[in-house]
Structure 1
Amino acid sequence: MPRNEPTEVTEEWDGGRSARRRKAVRYGVPVAVAGVTAATIGLVPAFAGSGSPDLPKISAQDLIAKIAKSDVQQLSGTVQVTTDLGLPALPGGAGAGALGGGQGGGGAGASASPQSKLTELASGTHTLRVAADGPDKQRVSIVGKSADYTLVHNGADVWAYDSGSNSAVHHTAPKDARHGAHRGAPEGLPDGGLRNATPQELAKEVLKAAGDTTSVTVGDTARVAGRDAYQLVIKPKQAASTVGSIRVAVDAANGVPLKFTLTPKSGGPAAVDVGYTRVDFARPAADTFAFTPPKGAKVVNGDRAAHGKGESGKGLGGFGGFGGFKDGQGPKGAGGFEVLGKGWTSIAALKAPGGPGGKDQLAKGDAGKFLDSLGSKVSGAFGSGHVFSTRLVNALITDDGRVYVGAVDQQALIAAADAAKK
């Protein structure tokens, strides 16, 4: 097979005016990081390279259209999620799970709440078993060493069950979720974070809009979960972004994203790597989606608990709970935030909990020393503060109680804080 060379695209991307392209843009992808969607995709003509297996050449436009046209309704398989953001260890061995909150209130029921499991996916390697049969039936299980956590959506019923505590939370699926479009993930689940921990949903988040802050090419072909795949290679054009590249492996036969890999600009292992290790596109057995709480299980009515707290049945959106905010606003009651800039260098600006007083308390004594050990002191026209860094997301907390966070370098955060003071 001759080597595939980049070829000029004679048709311009029309922003979604044709039916096929409208669908491609709608399902198309930049990644939601710390509440800021890396917004736009600029298509660069390129074709699959000389990797194995040999596949017909395809342009980036056509591969995105192939993803958009994919209408896989049934699948089952195993997904491996590996996250390495370089988060610091907390004193006393407290893990990410200590940060999770539960819709079901305190006690055993809270451990079965989807929100209590989101932060567990923020570090380490996890195995998920997934199954779907159309928009009304989905199942996701996090496989643990000693216990499993399972979400089941079957029609109007959504169950979350934690085998370790033998506790369950029941929700009624939103009506729009029961009849919406299905893309191979549990749309009816009350919390979007676990639903988005699949290659399909991550890819959809990254290709949502077309624009000029991103280049997209087609890289070498690959084999993922025994399937032939093309690879979209997505790179920010904005120098201040901490994202090096994103690779999305796409099933050559049916257009389903099989693997999502985000590598930081600093290099090293992937910060986020989510991919199928096994996948089957046959219809799962009907009893896959049946669930009855085991004898003696603690069962919490999630609808009643959420109503009592003034919450909706829907939880946090976006991978890791970072998405789900519209028009640059945060959740109600949290003060909200504004988005500064655009594309991959967007920065979320918000007030720190407790304001300047809370920050002053942290700066005193041992708490202040601990703060200094985690972050680096910086100053500028905005005043002074601390920058806290991971391999992907950086945050600036100023001494006057403002927070600037995004997948950008330290200088971009300082510049944003300086500009806000003018």
Structure 2
Amino acid sequence: MAPYESDESTTAEEADDLRAGRRKAARYVVPVAVVGVAAATIGLVPALADSGDPNLPKISAQQLIDKIAKSDVQQMSGTVKISTDLGLPNLGGLENSLASGAAGSGDGSSADPSSKLTELATGTHTLRVASDGPDRQKVSLLEKAAEYSLIHNGKDVWGYDSRSNEVYHATAADNAEAQKKQDVPATPKDLTDEALKSVDATTSVRVQGTAQVAGRDAYRLVVKPKQSGSTVGQITVAVDAKTGMPLKFTLTPSSGGAAVIDAGFTQVSFARPSSSTFDFTPPKGAKVTEGGRAGHGLKGTDRAPMPGGALAEGAGGMKVLGKGWNSIATFDTGGKGVPSGSRAGGQFGGFLDSLGDKVSGKFGSGTVFKTRLVNALITDDGKVYVGAVNKAALVKAADAGK
């Protein structure tokens, strides 16, 4: 079979097994904009692992994906380094002021995951993670002089920001809000599960050599779009040869340069963490915020591969155009396009101008807001087209909608 032909041998039963295996994964946190593209669909290519260091038995792409899906690591702990480079311009402090405003408004809290962990959308961060079955997980975001921790222990979900000494608390019964807080990916396993959610012929997948990650022997699974127009170059996953758990996830853009997402373990252990790891009592004097408002979850990827999932959730009649990596989500805001320059005013207006390119076509005119991964066209009459595609693909989609 040619290297880029899809494997027709996958049965419906096998596909169900893959999906069932993926549902076993523990969830943590990652920004919406990057998760959406990681969820692009893939096809299967039977290919054997190249010789390399370490020297591992040969395995096909189908067999390796089966291994990932059946991986059922219940106990583990480790350190994850995650770097995100969407190519956003320097916000000059705007991002901090917006985050502070969100945390300080209403019943908001700086310890609420939906406001705190969006920091992962840019820069390099270190996370400490631990898991002991489906009811106990912990992830800590390590900062220069502070630490933010998100702990799930039984029915309780705690968020703690040591910088502000604020605590967020929810339970599994809080209108499913607690589940939302823990159901957003951040580890290589979570990102890989998103990438393997569905299987079709829009992508080639092959095993390409071996590697060592955090002292563990691993196979390298390489995922590439077959379609032109995608901003995704390829996804590379280092899969632990023994357990099948992904140890490293790297997404590089079609434009070249540094990875957009690079998340990998620098240290990992599959021993059961100490039970005290998941214990939490609010420190003396800490401000505790109970529960949370619906819609604060960060995931948003069940709807479409796009940033700003809350905007799409609030907009009726959203459609998805195209297939696979070239999927474009479109919806009508019911109003005017996003203002820029003097109409937006101040620092925010300058930020929009720095991101946007004015475009025109049969649809009329609008602005394309761009990152290295996810791009969005907002027309002057308020229609939105967004996906992991280039500017030309967005304009083409808008023209076709007229």
| Alignment TM-score, normalising by the size of structure 2 | 0.87
Match of 2:28 in 1: none
Task: Give the Å deviation of 1:36.
Answer: 6.5
Residue 97 of structure 1 contacts residue 116 of structure 1 at CA under 8 Å; is this kept in 2? no
Q: Which residue of 2 aligns with 1:234?
A: 223
Measure how far apart 1:28 and its partner are: 6.1
Counterpart in 2 of 1:396? 377
Residue type of the alignment partner of 2:132: D
CA distance in 2, matches of 1:25, 1:134: 19
Cα pair 2:84 2:262 within 8 Å, conserved:
yes
Q: Distance in 1 between matches of 2:88 and 2:7?
A: 44
CA distance in 2, matches of 1:268, 1:40: 23
Whether the 8 Å CA contact 1:96–1:119 is kept in 2: the answer is: no
5 Å matches for 1:319-358? 322-325=300-303, 332-335=313-316, 337-352=318-333, 355-356=335-336
Identity of aligned residues (%): 59
- What is the deviation of 1:385? 1.4
**Equivalence for 1:69:** 70
Contact 1:32 1:206 in 2 (8 A): no
Residue matched to 2:84: 83
Report matched runs for 1:201-212 at 5 Å: 201-212=190-201
* Residue in structure 2 matched with residue 292 of structure 1 by the alignment: 281
Decide which moves more: 277-286 or 8-17: 8-17
Shift of 1:11: 8.0
Q: Is contact 2:222-2:234 (8 Å) kept? A: yes
Q: Tell me: CA distance 1:17–1:189, structure 2 relative to 1, closer, same or farther (3 Å).
A: closer
**Map of 1:271-290 to 2, 5 A cutoff?**
271-290=260-279
**Is 1:223 aligned to 2:212, yes or no?**
yes
Q: Which amino acid aligns with 1:339?
A: V
2:365 to 384, 398, 414: 384
**What is the CA distance between 1:22 and its match in structure 2?**
2.6
SS at match of 1:120: helix
Deviation of 1:103 (Å): 8.3
CA contact (8 A) 1:26 1:209 kept: no
Deviations 1:362-410 (A, max 9, x none): 6588787764443222110011112122111111121112221111011
The residue aligned with 2:142 is 143
1:126 touches 1:142 (CA, 8 Å); kept in 2? yes
Of 13, 16, 36, the residue aligned with 1:17 is 13
Is 1:316–2:329 an aligned residue pair? no
| Alignment check: 8 A CA contact 2:135 2:152 kept | yes
Task: For 1:276 and 1:219, locate their aligned partners in 2 and report how far apart those are by CA, in whole Å.
Answer: 20
Superposed displacement of residue 201, structure 1: 0.7
* SS of residue paired to 1:112: coil
Regions of 4+ moved over 6 Å: 5-11, 326-330, 364-370
Task: Specify the alignment match of 2:233 in structure 1.
Answer: 244
Q: How does 1:98-177 map to 2 (within 5 A)?
A: 98-99=98-99, 106=106, 110-174=109-173
Corresponding residue SS for 1:412: helix
Match of 2:27 in 1: none
Structure 2, unmatched stretches of 5+, are 24-31
Tell me the residue number matched to 1:181. none
Aligned with 1:300: secondary structure?
strand
Tell me: CA distance 1:11–1:275, structure 2 relative to 1, closer, same or farther (3 Å). closer
The answer to whether the 8 A contact 1:102-1:115 is kept is no
TM-aligned CA deviation for residue 248 of structure 1: 0.8
Aligned residue number for residue 94 of structure 1: 94
Q: Which residue of 1 aligns with 2:181?
A: 191
SS in 2 for 1:98: helix
**Considering only aligned residues, what root-mean-square deviation do their CA atoms show, in Å?**
3.4
Structure 2 counterpart of 1:259: 248
The verdict on how the C-alpha distance between 1:225 and 1:326 changes in structure 2, with shifts beyond 3 A counting, is: same
- Compute the displacement of 1:161 (Å): 0.6
Q: Which amino acid aligns with 1:94?
A: L
Q: How far off its partner does 1:14 sit?
A: 2.9
- Kept in 1, the 8 Å contact 2:76–2:132? The answer is yes
